Amino acid sequence: MQHKRRFSAFVASGQDPRSAIVDATEFAREFMTSAGLSAKAKVKALVVIEELVSNVLRHKDPAQDLNLTLSLDTENDEVLLELDDDSVAFDATLNQAFAGPDPERGGSVGLAIVRAWGTSMRYARKDGRNVLTLTVK
């Protein structure tokens, strides 16, 4: 059975993006619970979703407004995800070597996790928007 839902966020320039990250994660949690996904599928998908949404919102141009749309669907025990935003171009599918966490700030592990748990990843830049699609199994 498939369950398709969409979440949208708008973050004005200069606005703290944390509430949008929390809202997107809560939307995803509620969606996956109502879809009846297994606990393992929910945890993996939530980590991937939080990482992708937070990256877009934390790395956006602070002088620009940002519109973001997260579309989720399910098939069996998999989550099909599409993230569409009008931020700066960034292709998360590029195979960048992972040398471990940044020793100064502890970051840089999130995209490695996304690439490990996301399959069928595709990126396109269309009409000034990033469109990333992937499946989390």
Residue-range domains of the chain with CATH: 5-136 (3.30.565.10)
The model's pLDDT over 65-122, given as tens digits with 9 standing for 90+, comes to 999 999 999 999 999 999 999 999 999 888 666 677 777 776 668 888 899 999 999 9
Measured CA distances, 31 to 6, 8, 56, 62, 99 (Å): 10, 14, 21, 30, 34
| pTM (predicted TM-score) | 0.89
pLDDT for res 59: 83
In angstroms, rounded to a whole number, what is the distance separating the alpha carbons of residues 38 and 78?
9
Phi-psi region of 127 (alpha: psi -120 to 50; beta: other; left: phi over 0): left
The model's pLDDT over 6-42, given as tens digits with 9 standing for 90+, comes to 999 999 998 889 999 999 999 999 999 999 999 999 9
